[in-house]
Chain A
Amino acid sequence: MTAELVRGQNHPLDRTRVEIRVAAGGPVVAGVALGDEQGRLSGVEAVAHPGAPRRTGIEVPRQAAAEHRIAVDLDALPDAVHRVSVLLALPTGIGPLTTFGAAAAPSVTVTGLDGTGIVGYTVTGLGAESAVVAVELYRRQGAWKVRAVGQGYAGGLTAMLRDQGLSQAAELAAEIEEAVGLGHARAVPAPAPVAASRSDRPGAGPSGASAADRTDPANATAPDGPTTTGAGIGTGATTGTGPRAGAGATTGPATAAGATSGAGAKTGATSGTGSGAKSVAPSPAPAGGGPVDYRHPKRRSAPTPAGPPAAPVLSAAAPTGATASAGTPASPDGPPAPVAGDAAGWSMEERLYNQVWGMFEDLARSVAAYRSASDFAESRLEQELDKALADPRNRLGTAVDAARAAARDKHATLVTQARAALDRDLAQLAAESEVVEPALPPAFARWDNPVWQGYHVPLERPMALRLGDLHLPEVLDLRIPMLVRLPLERGLWIDSGPDAYARGGGPDPERAYGRRELGSALTDGPPDEAELRRLAMETAVAIAVRLLAVHPVGDFAVQVIDPGGTAAPALAPLVESGALPAAPLPGAKGVASVLEGLTRRVDLVQMAVRNRAGDALPPDLDTAEQLLIVHDFPHGFDDRALTQLRYLADEGPAVGVHLMMVADRDRSREYGPVLDPLWRSLLRITPVPDAHLADPWVGHAWTYEPPLAPKGSQVVRQVLGRLAEARRAGQH
């Protein structure tokens, strides 16, 4: 199965004899540069090109063509070679193309000798460039990997070779051109560019990447650990936003542009390191990069600097042309296009986490500005109307009508202005959300994100988990992921009580919207009590599965107290997949045994931590973090069990025992106020959309939506199945 990469992403190679197949929209020259650990070339002999097609372990074609096969034997390469870069350039004078942007995007496939695809990469987002470093194979701890680079050069072959560190770049470029010219003389005519036929399907690369055979990038990068390590030895063009932003590309062509613009911002910075690219005359590219534009239509970006000599420095200084300008604040018509991972952080995960929180704060503040302005407009209108009526001079004539009209005009003007300011902010945030959502790792992603389809059990715990979505009534379709840090600092309380929703009274359009959008089994009628209880347990299971899924095998376990046995249908997926070893014991006995066990665990671990004697824990103690789901509280609880539960709620989180109550607060009313501290210590969430969570900045009431899988989706069972596989594999 071919893994389709996006810019910056890497993938392990499982063999050392590979073929690199290149397909472009017109004749291109293919070459290979062999670099050392720092990516430096030892000299012209480190480049395999049409003028010198054979180097040890490498053979490249002698002429320009629309399709190439480059044979690579990685075992035969000298030990000093750590990086094999595949270079593509448009030959001058052969074929109609002068820029890559003018034809279909070139694609590169790394295959085995038998032709089975390993990795595919379509170099999208090229504009005025006439040379590009497409992919590179590199050594990493004794193994070879392949990375999608996609670094383009408007300055052509010479600029590209110089950027590879060759001092004789111009001479070598001339030699290559000459060899290609000779080769062309005896070659068959190249096929006509196929730009027209492909331009309307920019996402589907020539390698025919269908939704089915797109391996999820998360798999591809998962063995690497943090995504930034892959970029560590990179050229800089691939650092940062590349790998994770690339995750978005699997959802379709739209987000691929986001990925390239992200990397483009970086290349713009690194390309300045000099190479003297500006001495190279730019290719006479049409402005905007030709007829094919792979950029996202909604994403604003400045057009590529035009080819005419008026702007040679500009276009040469930004080798990636269109992509670089998309990422820089150069676009005059507004703020820069948003990029996934555009925040501070040590890893992509942390950057996305910070970015999501930044979006959360920005949305809260933008809406605060809007509400403040419209409230002010409202109160001023009232005052002015009162004043107009109260003024005795207005009693006669039309003055009062005029005053009223003026007041209403002022009100309308202010509200319109406020709305315009809000819309401007929302458009920016919506664009950001559009880029960020697809780039999120599983722990931050909704169930319907394709990243879950390619789910693999992670090797380490993520920093946070998405507990659901938040939105405000002003902007229903902008959902902010509600990320909470792991390990959970507070327990969760999933409110299954009906009065919380009845309180709102009549039909609430916002809630109706939420119900319509929310996939899972929500009926159209108002949720009745039984329905709410069922949904509450479903929500509990959905969150439990997320928690299980984002922890490495054996690091997280779920226990359930269900004295009435009423949660069995919702728990079925957990029991069937083995995530829950057995159905919970019924009755008070089950309550007592689970609480007894967890209390003992908390006590022992606390002792071990206090005395720094972690190895003295009894061997039968499960050291995994525990999530205790309490269903039907307080049914089956006696005073002793209640005390133990409160002990777990207070002491548990510090030693890895987390509480999740699925309860209706009213049903424990008989206990009086003694349980209030327990409820307060828990984070309340609801099984149906409900506005009750406040943000930490302004205190808006945000509508929370639980993380239920879309109706009919099998993703939860799939994830549980993978977990079960991993668990079995771990046992053998």
Chain B
Amino acid sequence: MSVNLSKGQGISLQKSDGGTLTAVRMGLGWRSAPRRGLFGRRTNEIDLDASAVLFADKKPIDVVFFQHLISDDGAVRHTGDNLVGGAGQGGDDEAILVDLARMPVHIDQIVFTVNSFTGQTFAEVQDAFCRLVDETTGEELARYTLTGGGNYTAQVMSKVHRVGNGWQMTAIGEPSVGRTFQDLVPAIVPHL
């Protein structure tokens, strides 16, 4: 059972049986740009990028994105850049795997962001979504629909943060404009 999130809504990443989640995956999927006729290769490809920024006490410590695919501690891994989308047929085109059990103790927030590297706004991208999946069971915990997001090229999607001994996810859904996560840092800070 997945939850369709709206802005600011939080879900706890405690399992129903009381155990804490140990590994989650942030998935990002979108439909590739429609093929045009004769010169199909000139289709304006859509490249969305998923990034994860690791914060300790509101200071960015590390970031996982298409140029730094594994966090220094190895707890966060990006499966690789997808430049065109649509590969997953409704599944994830890019994924970021987070091993919460191995997360360094000082990291208390992980913010997931989506950027449109090629510049199309979310109004132009079809079937774009991001979601959070429990890696151990494959169960979808939360889903966020990006399409129809208006004239924006980036979104601060959600954050996963420590609560007590466990982790909780809070949807942020803050639209923004930017090519990579660096452009989003001002938009992220108010949500920490």
List residues of A whose CB falls within 8 A of some B CB: 361-362, 365-366, 368-370, 372-373, 376-377, 380, 414, 417-418, 421, 425, 697-698
Contact = CB atoms under 8 A, between A and B. Distances in A.
A417 to B, nearest CB: 4
Given A372-B61, A376-B61, A380-B57, A418 B104 contact: yes
A362 B105 CA distance: 17
Leading 5 A-B pairs by shortest Cβ distance:
A365-B74, A369-B73, A369-B104, A417-B105, A373-B106
Given A373-B106, A421-B105, 12 more contacts: A365-B72, A368-B73, A369-B72, A369-B74, A369-B103, A372-B61, A373-B56, A373-B105, A376-B56, A376-B57, A697-B74, A698-B72
A366 B105 contact: no
A697 B70 contact: yes
Contacts of B105: 373, 414, 417-418, 421
B75 interface: yes
B191 interface: no
Nearest to B54: A372
B127 interface: no
A372 B57 contact: no
A694 to B, nearest CB: 13
Contacts of B61: 372, 376
A361 B74 contact: yes
A418 B107 CA distance: 11
B72 A368 contact: yes
Contacts of B72: 365, 368-369, 372, 697-698
Contacts of A372: 61-62, 72-73, 104, 106
Interface string B77-106: 000000000000000000000000011111
A365 B70 CA distance: 10
Contacts of A377: 106
B54 to A, nearest CB: 9
Looking at B57, B104, B107, which has the most chain A CB atoms within 10 Å of its CB?
A: B104
Contacts of B106: 372-373, 376-377, 414, 418
A373 B70 contact: no
Interface in B45-68: 56-57, 59, 61-62
Looking at B62, B105, B107, which has the most chain A CB atoms within 10 Å of its CB?
A: B105
A652 to B, nearest CB: 34
Contacts of B104: 369-370, 372-373, 418, 421
A314 to B, nearest CB: 21
Contacts of A373: 56, 104-107
A376 B70 CA distance: 20
B68 to A, nearest CB: 11
Interface string B98-128: 0000111111000000000000000000000
A672 to B, nearest CB: 37
Given A370-B104, A372-B104, A376-B106, A365 B73 contact: yes
B137 to A, nearest CB: 15
A559 to B, nearest CB: 42
A368 B72 CA distance: 6
12 contacts: A366-B74, A369-B75, A370-B104, A372-B62, A372-B72, A372-B73, A372-B104, A373-B107, A376-B59, A697-B70, A697-B72, A698-B72
B107 to A, nearest CB: 8
Contacts of B103: 369
A697 B70 CA distance: 9
Contacts of B56: 373, 376
Contacts of A697: 70, 72, 74
A417 B103 CA distance: 12
A377 B105 CA distance: 10
A414 B75 CA distance: 18
A362 B74 CA distance: 8
Contacts of A425: 102
Contacts of B73: 365-366, 368-369, 372
A417 B165 CA distance: 12
Contacts of B62: 372
B77 to A, nearest CB: 10
Looking at B62, B73, B74, which has the most chain A CB atoms within 10 Å of its CB?
A: B73
A425 B72 CA distance: 15
Contacts of B75: 365, 369
Contacts of B107: 373
A365 B72 CA distance: 6
Contacts of A370: 104
Looking at A369, A373, A418, which has the most chain B CB atoms within 10 Å of its CB?
A: A369
Contacts of A421: 102, 104-105
A102 to B, nearest CB: 37
A709 to B, nearest CB: 35
A44 B105 CA distance: 62
B166 to A, nearest CB: 15
Nearest to B59: A376
A367 to B, nearest CB: 9
Nearest to A370: B104
Contacts of A418: 104-106
A361 B73 CA distance: 10
Interface in B16-63: 56-57, 59, 61-62
A417 B107 CA distance: 12
A418 B104 CA distance: 7
A365 B56 CA distance: 18
A612 B102 CA distance: 53
Looking at A372, A377, A425, which has the most chain B CB atoms within 10 Å of its CB?
A: A372
Nearest to B73: A369
A412 to B, nearest CB: 12
Contact of A369 (B59, B70, B102): B102
A421 B107 CA distance: 13
A365 B64 CA distance: 14
Nearest to B56: A376
Contacts of B74: 361-362, 365-366, 368-369, 697
A369 B103 CA distance: 8
Nearest to A377: B106
A698 B59 CA distance: 20
Nearest to A368: B72
B123 to A, nearest CB: 39
A366 B102 CA distance: 8
A168 to B, nearest CB: 44
Contacts of A369: 72-75, 102-104
A99 to B, nearest CB: 34
B174 to A, nearest CB: 26
A608 B156 CA distance: 60
A370 to B, nearest CB: 7
Nearest to A367: B73
Contacts of A698: 72
A368 B56 CA distance: 15
Nearest to B103: A369
Contacts of A417: 105
A366 B74 CA distance: 8
A425 B106 CA distance: 16
Contacts of B102: 369, 421, 425
A75 B61 CA distance: 71
B79 to A, nearest CB: 17
A372 B102 CA distance: 13
A370 B104 CA distance: 7
A362 B73 CA distance: 9
A697 B56 CA distance: 21
B28 to A, nearest CB: 24
A380 B58 CA distance: 11
A496 B157 CA distance: 55
A361 to B, nearest CB: 7
A425 B105 CA distance: 13
B18 to A, nearest CB: 15
A372 B59 CA distance: 12
B103 to A, nearest CB: 8
Contacts of A414: 105-106
Contacts of A376: 56-57, 59, 61, 106
Nearest to B72: A368
